[in-house]
Amino acid sequence: MSIIKASTKGQIVIPEKLREKYKIDQGTLLDILDGKNKIIILPMGKEPQKEGRGMLKGKTSLTKALLADRKKKREH
C-alpha cells in the first residue's frame, strides 16, 4: 500500500511500481469511477477503440448470416 498526497489542484502521482505493472505511461487513458467509499482508477490504454477491435469476432459473419436469412425468407 502506498500513501500519496493530492496537490492543491487534486492531482496525484501513481506510484512507479503500479504504473509499470499496469503499463500506464504518458498518454494512457484512465477511467475514474466512484465506488462506495473508494475511487477506482482503470487503465484503458492509449486508444481503447483500436485495442478492442476484433475482440468479439466470431467464426460466422453476422452480415452474411443476415443476408442468407433474408434470401431464405424471400424464397419461401
Structure confidence by residue, pLDDT tens digits, 2-24: 899 999 999 999 999 999 998 89
CATH class of 1-47: mainly beta
Quote the pLDDT of residue 15.
Answer: 94
pTM over 0.75: no
* Structural domain spans, the chain: 1-47
pLDDT confidence band for 39 (50 / 70 / 90): very high
Q: Rounded to 10 degrees, what is the CA torsion of 20, 22, 24, 29?
A: 180
Q: Which amino acid is at 28?
A: T
In terms of Cα–Cα distance, which of 26, 29, 60 is closest to 44? Answer: 29
Pairwise CA distance, residues 50 & 22, whole Å: 18
